[in-house]
Amino acid sequence: MSSSTDTLIFSQLSRSYVSAVNSAEKDGKRNLMRLLPSLLKSSTRNCSIQQQFDE
């Protein structure tokens, strides 16, 4: 995938995640926010791997 495609996918997932958090009840919000650091770490790792292949 190209970096512009990755950016688009990440942007769409981000909007979906924010929407899910905003519409969730208190316990759901807590669980979603607990997952956020892992998701961000995973997306950062995937971007750095993709950059290595692009070089």
Residue 25 φ then ψ, to 5°: -75, 175
E strand or H helix that includes residue 29: helix 26-54
40/50 Cα distance (integer angstroms): 15
User: What does the pLDDT average to over 30-34?
Assistant: 89
46/36 Cα distance (integer angstroms): 15
User: What does the pLDDT average to over 19-39?
Assistant: 89
User: What does the pLDDT average to over 34-53?
Assistant: 68
Is the pTM of the predicted complex or chain greater than 0.85?
A: no
